Amino acid sequence: MEPRRQAPGEPEFPTCTRCGFILFLNPDLSVGAIVPLEGGIVLLRRAIQPCLGLWTFPMGYANRGERTERAAERETFEEVGLETRVRELIGVYSYEGRPVAVVVYEAEAIGGTLAPGAEAIEVRSVRPESIPWEELAFPSARDALRDYLRRRGWVPPD
């Protein structure tokens, strides 16, 4: 294998010098759900790396062949115990040099009980003015929360 550029403007990909097989290094797809509950937004403190101990809304990887809406609902149930229904797309977030693209939805709670799953130290509904902005795990969590709150007329800190 050697790095080769397949087309102008594209990055180099590992390419077999004998058969021409190209190993495309495409981004992973993560999904998340912002769930309003009891006047706040459901956040969890991570029990796993990366970002152990930091806060985010429920999010995780979509499985191959899984609809992103279903993946967001599944991840929310696994991480915070809530059954949800996706309502609307908040945004799609990707960052230069990072291998993950994140799709974030607003979802409504329709059942279950708010409780930490295996990947959460704690979960709670946090009012907008109490969001721990400096302790958020990922840029996508910060950006999606800001977009969500701005749509609702609340001005988050920069």
Domain architecture of the chain: domains with CATH: 26-151 (3.90.79.10)
Q: In this predicted structure, what is the pLDDT of residue 6?
A: 84
The pLDDT of residue 144 is 98
The pLDDT value recorded for residue 158 is 72
Residue 8 confidence (pLDDT): 87
Per-residue confidence (pLDDT) for residue 152, from 0 to 100: 92
Q: What is the pLDDT of residue 10?
A: 84
For residue 27, the model assigns a pLDDT of 84
Residue 137's contacts (CB-CB under 8 Å, 6 or more residues apart) are: 46, 50, 51, 54, 55, 56
HSE-CB at 6 with a 13 A cutoff on CA atoms is: 12
Question: What is the mean pLDDT for each group of 10 consecutive residues in the chain (158 residues)?
Answer: 88 90 89 97 97 98 96 98 98 95 98 97 97 97 97 84
pLDDT at site 142: 97
The pLDDT tens digits for 17-44 are: 999 998 888 889 999 999 999 999 999 9
Token look-up 């409504």 returns 108
Model pTM? 0.88
Q: Indicate the DSSP class of residue 136.
A: B
Rounded CA-CA distance 67/141 in Å is 20
